[in-house]
Chains A and B, each alone.
Chain A
Amino acid sequence: RKEVEQDPGPFNVPEGATVAFNCTYSNSASQSFFWYRQDCRKEPKLLMSVYSSGNEDGRFTAQLNRASQYISLLIRDSKLSDSATYLCVVRSGYALNFGKGTSLLVTP
């Protein structure tokens, strides 16, 4: 079983929509949590860290539920430029464990 599981999608949403992604992780001792974004044929880039108290960065809100080992990302007012693959990432020790990503396509 992979350590980080995500729904691969694709999620096709119209501009302006709200979309939510979820992921689950298996290692209860994991220490840090992130969402990375990867554009087509590009490298992954850090989108935001995820904290237990929940955190927001503009249109993006991330939540962590340690008890359920569940992480979420909410994107409000979707833009065309949000089209990408969103990778759920969990750190255990020095290693980052990446989910396989959820693909988002925002359409006009």
Chain B
Amino acid sequence: DAGVIQSPRHEVTEMGQEVTLRCKPISGHNSLFWYRQTMMRGLELLIYFNNNVPIDDSGMPEDRFSAKMPNASFSTLKIQPSEPRDSAVYFCASSPGTWGETQYFGPGTRLLVL
């Protein structure tokens, strides 16, 4: 069974460029989460979707960040324009329930903004 799939696995870009991260959740899971992990702040929840609808985006740092989930099998996280302080590992996780009891994480996207 395929787990959560994320692409790209690594991204190096220059400040000001647009970055799009992609996630395919586990089939049948109806909750999807985007997290960011840094040494300083640990794992932080950015946004939570349930049944493709954004429920809580209070963790999105600022307007430069946006996320979409056009269908049950695909989500994107976009940063435009990117800044060096956005450098982090971005994880997507999915969960079979509404309450995120057990979350299954993708391998993450390592983003470096120069």
Contact = CB atoms under 8 A, between A and B. Distances in A.
Interface string B27-54: 0000101000000011101001010000
Contacts of A99: 42
Contacts of A45: 105
Interface stretch (A14-22, A58-66, A76-84, A86-94): A86-94
B92 to A, nearest CB: 9
Contacts, number: 43
Interface in A6-59: 32, 42-46
Nearest to A6: B42
7 contacts: A43-B105, A44-B91, A46-B103, A91-B100, A94-B50, A95-B100, A96-B33
B75 to A, nearest CB: 16
Given A95-B100, A99-B42, A42 B31 contact: no
Interface of A: 2, 32, 42-46, 87, 91, 93-101
Interface string B81-113: 000000000010000001111110111100000
B43 A98 contact: yes
B55 interface: yes
A26 to B, nearest CB: 15
Contact of A94 (B31, B42, B106, B108): B31
A42 to B, nearest CB: 7
Contacts of A91: 99-101
B100 A94 contact: yes
A45 B42 CA distance: 15
A10 to B, nearest CB: 14
Given A43-B108, A94-B31, 16 more contacts: A2-B42, A42-B108, A43-B91, A43-B106, A43-B107, A44-B91, A44-B105, A46-B103, A91-B99, A91-B100, A93-B99, A94-B48, A96-B33, A96-B45, A96-B103, A101-B42
B14 interface: no
B35 to A, nearest CB: 8
B56 interface: yes
Interface string B44-74: 0100101000011000000000000000000
